[in-house]
Amino acid sequence: MPSDLKRVSRALLSVSDKTGLVDFARALSERGIELVSTGGTHKALREAGLPVKDVSDLTGFPEMMDGRVKTLHPAVHGGLLGIRGNPEHQAAMLAHGIQPIDLLVVNLYPFEATVAAGKPYDDCIENIDIGGPAMIRAAAKNHGDVAVVVDGADYAAVLDDLSQHKGAVTYTLRRRLAQKAYARTAAYDAAISNWFANELGDATPPFLALGGSIAEVMRYGENPHQSAAFYRTPEQRPGVSTARQVQGKQLSYNNINDTDAAYEAVAEFAPERSAAIVIVKHANPCGVAEGATLVEAYEKALRCDPVSAFGGIVAMNRTLDAQAAKAITEIFTEVIIAPDASEEAIAIVAAKKNLRLLLAGGLPDPRQAGLTLRTVAGGFLAQSRDNAVVDAMDLKVVTKRAPSERELADLRFAFRVAKHVKSNAIVYAKDLATVGIGAGQMSRVDSSRIAAWKAAEAAKAANLPETLAKGSVVASDAFFPFADGLLAAAEAGATAVIQPGGSMRDDEVIKAADEAGLAMVFTGHRHFRH
């Protein structure tokens, strides 16, 4: 076991992000710690009036090849890797004039930011750091003697240790910093390898690395006995990960999961065409609608299932305005997420101090490629994001009767929603609003019956004389394997159907639709969401 306390006499600093650097380096220098640095970091410290050596003073070599070669040298890596209590290591260091480096401060070239900014291929390549990860890994391996800092957020912890222990750093802190260092280089390499795979068009590379940075630690996971945390990946997709939380309690694990589901669903509706609202409960939409205004869309969406909407998540595709904010805050809501909000709307929501308001800064693109993951025992499943959109599908009329223009608009609307409902998914819609949703059932006919029952219950809640499903259309996320599910929709009052098609009994289902007077279109695309 290494000695608990290790005195810091020499520090090597080489950072891309120089936030807080000068103050940290000054505090080190004031403690008599010798500073060694490279390139732009060296320049910044010299300009701040700090005594600092150039790394070439250690190596005897100048920086070369546009800075690609500067720290890859035994004088640097020997100073980081040499075990202080090992006589052979010490003899080698003495024989070759290698000076020990007790503290390494490195953050890496901004590869992730370069990719996110859409920079050209060659720029991305030039922002792949080589010397930095090599030094970080060396220092972290030798954490028994060396402290390594890869995050400016840890500057204060190092200075606290130095202050409390008369210029030494504890083994506890060195080990914690080493873990973080390896996690950082792993995430960095993951970003690089995944970028390369994307550039090559390789959807299933032989090795797939994952990396993320912690956004916050949750109080618990899905249940109180489960620990959880939220991590951000390099993907800059508008949503929970990009959102500014204006107010409200800390988001829970379930809040984040449900809010992501709601925001991805509402992004299916182009804001320039209409306002749209999605209300989600337990990761499933319980009300979705389009309208001329957000408040109109909200009232239509709420009518679909006002019971489930209580304590739900509300997502919208336009800037939250005061009228919509007032309507939404009339019932208990957990989270509101929008691209932005007016100051008046923010003030209205502020009256509900526990209600979380998230402003995401934009909408995710439903057509954008990406990766989705799910863990299984001993591994994980990775697949491309379901970025199929109904507007790009060639809808094929398969029944004797073709849908009317109104039915066709509602069919497209319903299929957009079905994409975001757990399978087996059945969605009834009328006038660009859901009127009944059946989700997550083991049989499609059960989902159809539940959706019809929901439509009848919604009508009762609104004091209407007949089910909301009367005159509606119905969407199914996958084909009807038998005619029973389709006939259940017809019995509920649906007049048109949209489904992928592709069943061995398609002819039987089409015949049943014709006999029931239904119009039906096939999309050729399935939207399973398990």
DSSP assignment letter at 64: B
Find the DSSP H helices in 20-130.
21-30, 39-47, 56-59, 74-81, 87-95, 111-116, 121-126
Helix, strand, or coil (residue 321): coil
Residue 383 lies in a domain: no
Residues 276 and 417 in one domain: no
Residues 61 and 106 in one domain: yes
Model pLDDT, residue 171: 95
10-15 and 103-107 strand pairing:
parallel
Residues 247 and 196 in one domain: no
Task: Compute the distance between CA of residue 196 and CA of residue 182 in angstroms, rounded to an integer.
Answer: 21
Helix, strand, or coil (residue 149): strand
Residue 374 lies in a domain: no
Q: CB within 8 A of 326, min separation 6: which ones?
A: 295, 348
Element (H, E) at 476: strand 473-476
Phi and psi at residue 11, to the nearest 5°: -125, 135
Specify the amino acid at residue 310: F
pTM: 0.87
Phi and psi at residue 159, to the nearest 5°: -65, -35
- Give catalytic status of residue 43 as yes or no: no
Residues 503, 396 contacting (CB under 8 angstroms): no
Task: Compute the distance between CA of residue 366 and CA of residue 385 in angstroms, rounded to an integer.
Answer: 9
Residues 142 and 30 in one domain: yes
Specify the amino acid at residue 185: T
Of 304, 333, 359, at which residue does a domain stop?
359
Query: How many helices and strands (H and E) does the chain possess?
Result: 19, 23
Helix, strand, or coil (residue 521): strand
Residues 270, 416 contacting (CB under 8 angstroms): no
Out of 18, 53, 249, 282, which one is annotated catalytic? 282
Residues 420 and 316 in one domain: no
Model pLDDT, residue 1: 44
Residue 218 lies in a domain: no
Domains contained in the chain, number: 3
114: nearest Cα among 105, 106, 102, 122: 122
Phi and psi at residue 215, to the nearest 5°: -95, -45
Task: Compute the distance between CA of residue 196 and CA of residue 206 in angstroms, rounded to an integer.
Answer: 13
Specify the amino acid at residue 64: M
Out of 18, 53, 119, 141, which one is annotated catalytic? 141
Model pLDDT, residue 475: 96
CATH code at 183?
3.40.50.1380
Domain ranges, residue 72: 5-200
Residues 138 and 193 in one domain: yes
Phi and psi at residue 153, to the nearest 5°: -65, -15
Rounded (to 5) percent helix, strand, coil in the chain: 40, 20, 40
Residues 333 and 427 in one domain: no
Of 340, 359, 378, at which residue does a domain stop?
359
- Give the rounded distance of the alpha carbon of 111 from its chain centre: 18
Model pLDDT, residue 67: 66
Residues 174 and 61 in one domain: yes
Model pLDDT, residue 90: 86
What is the token pair recorded at 28? 């080190």
**Beta strand residue intervals within 296-348, DSSP E:** 312-316, 333-338
192: nearest Cα among 236, 132, 128, 237: 128
Task: Compute the distance between CA of residue 300 and CA of residue 413 in angstroms, rounded to an integer.
Answer: 14
Task: Compute the distance between CA of residue 6 and CA of residue 25 in angstroms, rounded to an integer.
Answer: 19
Residue 419 lies in a domain: yes
Residues 94 and 139 in one domain: yes
Residues 164 and 284 in one domain: no
CATH code at 312?
3.40.140.20
Residue 325 lies in a domain: yes
Residues 187 and 275 in one domain: no
Look-up of token digits 């999605």: 278
Of 200, 223, 257, at which residue does a domain stop?
200
Segments in the chain below pLDDT 70: 1-3, 60-61, 64-70
Residues 478, 499 contacting (CB under 8 angstroms): yes
Residues 351 and 404 in one domain: no
Specify the amino acid at residue 72: L
Burial class (CB in 10 A: 0-12, 13-18, 19+), 87: exposed
Residue 366 lies in a domain: no
Residue 121 lies in a domain: yes
Helix, strand, or coil (residue 284): strand
Residue 530 lies in a domain: no
Residues 500, 526 contacting (CB under 8 angstroms): yes
- Give catalytic status of residue 141 as yes or no: yes
Model pLDDT, residue 152: 93
